[in-house]
């Protein structure tokens, strides 16, 4: 990440080159070590599941678009449209509000219908929202230039996130649920870091001066992000099982009430031994 951020702006020096080499070696070594370790941190066998792999690829594309687009939207609002920092932050607050209102309902619906349809529709709606963010240019108002894209993107994200988590957990055995959740979370963070480092370069914003308007590169970045979200929707349609749902596997706590005679007798004997 350090190399990806520093090289486009400062050129290739010893530190950034060293960081790039160390990063590449680590990325190559990690799966090799995991394959040989008797108790791997990340069992690579999980990726034999097409749904697990597809759900994580969808996570990567959607969260990369989310992080890169919102990062650049914040800069666009401040550097190109003159918003104060606090106002730029509040401008995207509707996304959070929409997710609070919708995510639980969408998750319950996905439990009944399966995650495939919402995971396809959600990223496509996100793509429309990101395309609408190209309207956020100097001279436009918040209501006409910013809010439409923010609202549509918030709806798409709300439709996507809960079914996405369900699809990941449904693709593995209960014993691997924790690992699957951790992998999905790590991939979402990795996607965001990569997007913030790489998207400005691809969109032609790497040489924009500190505090300078972003210019036409902002629109290109939003369209690239929209294409990534749309690709996530296509991946979900091709890889996610339409009918597979998530079963709950509650683990009893230390003081969990006994539920059957065998468990109760075991608990009684254990207490007597203690």
pLDDT value for 267: 47
Residue 273 has pLDDT above 50, yes or no: no
Residues 225 and 149 in one domain: yes
pLDDT value for 244: 52
Q: How far is CA 30 from CA 23, 41, 149, in A?
A: 11, 10, 39
Question: Exposed (0-12), middle (13-18) or buried (19+): which is 239, by Cβ within 10 Å?
Answer: buried
Mean pLDDT check: name the lowest of 7-11, 163-167, 228-232, 253-257.
Answer: 253-257
pLDDT value for 170: 84
Residues 142 and 218 in one domain: yes
pLDDT value for 245: 55
pLDDT band at 145 (very low <50, low <70, confident <90, very high): very high
Token duo for residue 107: 């998750």
pTM (2 decimals)?
A: 0.79
Mean pLDDT check: name the lowest of 76-80, 119-123, 154-158, 251-255.
Answer: 251-255
Residues 141 and 176 in one domain: yes
Domain assignment present for residue 168? The answer is yes
- Are the CB atoms for 115 and 239 separated by under 8 Å? no
Dihedrals phi, psi of 210, to nearest 5 degrees: -60, 125
Nearest CA-CA partner of 194 in 53, 66, 40:
66
What does the alpha-carbon distance between residue 273 and residue 270 come to, in Å, rounded to a whole number?
Answer: 5
Range of the domain at 77: 49-239
Count of domains observed in the chain: 2
Question: 42-68: per-residue pLDDT in tens?
Answer: 888 888 888 899 999 999 999 999 999
Residues 208 and 190 in one domain: yes
Residues 23 and 114 in one domain: no
Tell me which long-range contacts 36-44 makes (C-beta under 8 A, separation of at least 24): 42/179, 42/183, 43/176, 43/179
- Are the CB atoms for 91 and 77 separated by under 8 Å? yes
Question: Exposed (0-12), middle (13-18) or buried (19+): which is 243, by Cβ within 10 Å?
Answer: exposed
CA dihedral sign of residues 43, 44, 45, 46: positive
Residue 148 has pLDDT above 90, yes or no: yes
Residue 243 has pLDDT above 70, yes or no: no
Mean pLDDT of 174-187: 89
Domain assignment present for residue 262? The answer is no
Domain assignment present for residue 245? The answer is no
- Are the CB atoms for 69 and 130 separated by under 8 Å? yes
Residue 8 has pLDDT above 80, yes or no: no
Residues 12 and 147 in one domain: no
């Amino acid at each position: 990440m350090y190399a990806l951020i520093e090289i486009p702006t400062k050129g290739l020096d010893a530190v950034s080159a060293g960081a790039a080499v160390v990063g590449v070696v680590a990325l190559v070594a990690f799966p090799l070590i995991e394959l040989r370790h008797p108790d791997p941190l990340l069992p690579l066998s999980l990726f034999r599941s097409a749904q697990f792999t597809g759900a994580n690829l969808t996570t990567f594309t959607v969260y990369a678009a989310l992080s890169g687009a919102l990062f650049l939207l914040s800069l666009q609002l401040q550097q190109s449209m003159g918003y104060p920092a606090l106002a730029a932050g509040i401008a995207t607050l509707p996304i959070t509000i929409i997710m609070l209102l919708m995510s639980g309902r969408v998750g319950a619906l996905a439990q009944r219908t399966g995650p495939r349809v919402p995971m396809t529709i959600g990223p496509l709606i996100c793509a429309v929202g990101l395309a609408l963010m190209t309207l956020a240019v100097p001279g436009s108002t918040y209501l006409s230039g910013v809010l439409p894209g923010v609202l549509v993107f918030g709806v798409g994200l709300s439709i996507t996130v809960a079914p996405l988590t369900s699809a990941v957990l449904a693709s593995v055995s209960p014993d691997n649920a924790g690992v699957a959740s951790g992998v999905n979370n790590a991939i979402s963070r990795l996607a965001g870091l990569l997007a913030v480092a790489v998207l400005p370069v691809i969109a032609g914003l790497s040489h924009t001066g500190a505090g300078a308007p972003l210019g036409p590169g902002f629109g290109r970045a939003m369209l690239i992000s929209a294409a990534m979200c749309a690709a996530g929707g296509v991946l979900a349609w091709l890889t996610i099982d339409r009918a597979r749902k998530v079963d709950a596997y509650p683990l009893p706590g230390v003081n969990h009430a006994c539920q059957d005679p065998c468990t109760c007798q075991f608990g009684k004997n254990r207490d007597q031994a203690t």
